[in-house]
Amino acid sequence: MNKAEKKTWQERYSYCTELLERPDIVFVYPREFSRTSEVVVEKLQEIMDYLKYITGLNPTYSFKQRTVVGYRHPDNEGGKECQPGWLPNWVNIPWNYLKKPDEPMDACSHELVHPFFRCSPLHYRNEGWGEGFCDFLRGPVKRVVGLDGANWWQTMLEAAKDGKDSEYHYPAGQFALMAYEKFGQRSGSIEAFLNDSDGIRAFVRYLFSNFEYVSLSTLIMPSPKMEKKWMGKDKI
């Protein structure tokens, strides 16, 4: 464990006494964690391995530290429960998620995409699309760790088709539809495309190659919420 990782553990997750390490993950948790921690940390590393393949990026190298995933006690959050979230280079898991059977994998199916987006060519010009990008990849990431990625993608697709005003679901569904249109026809259906790692990888690389300096709004119409949040910032 390097100094940055240790500092993150001590300052953000002081109620977590236990530690497991993998090449890209430091998982810290309290003694009362009720599931098999070795299985959990392996699944978190599986997420990182999958995303490294899909994106060709390595946030551990870029940030010069592994991602610390930890349960954050309300005392560390001013007396209230935190929300799942990522900043370089940690993932907060709310303390009240301790007994949820699919956690921290479910929260991390979104949050662990964030470091890859931050390191990607999309981030500078298209920062406003980050949440949608993470929710798009959340579907296949869920599948990788044994969660229901198909139902997740269906929710995203319905949001896109209905024009739901969201910074998350609407753009995620638009990404899924565009990915299938461009690289998923061989799968036979958009549901089957969820399992096509090579097709998803090709779409992500297409975005990286073509939209480093070009607005993604030339490809997909942003939602009103996105436009309002990022108005005048030239980030969508």
For residues 85 and 150, state if they share a domain.
no
Residue 65: the pLDDT is 97
Backbone conformation region of residue 32, classed left if phi is above 0, alpha if psi is from -120 to 50, else beta: alpha
For residues 73 and 129, state if they share a domain.
no
Residues 6+ apart with CB under 8 A from 115: 59, 62, 63, 67, 86, 88, 89
What's the structural domain count of the chain?
2
For residues 102 and 152, state if they share a domain.
no
Residue 11: the pLDDT is 95
Question: How much is the pTM?
Answer: 0.96
Establish if 236 belongs to a structural domain: no
Residue position matching structure tokens 């949050």 = 111
Establish if 234 belongs to a structural domain: no
CA distance 124 to 201: 21
CATH number at residue 77: 3.30.2010
Residue 21: the pLDDT is 98
Low-confidence ranges of the chain (pLDDT < 70): none
Residue 121: the pLDDT is 97
Phi, psi of 68 (to 5 degrees): -90, 120
CA distance 173 to 221: 12
Tens of pLDDT, residue by residue over 115-132, are 999 999 999 999 999 999
CA distance 86 to 68: 10
Establish if 56 belongs to a structural domain: yes
For residues 216 and 129, state if they share a domain.
yes
Establish if 19 belongs to a structural domain: yes
Tens of pLDDT, residue by residue over 9-37, are 999 999 999 999 999 999 999 998 877 89
- Please give the residue range of the domain that contains residue 137: 123-229
For residues 74 and 107, state if they share a domain.
yes
Establish if 216 belongs to a structural domain: yes
For residues 113 and 140, state if they share a domain.
no
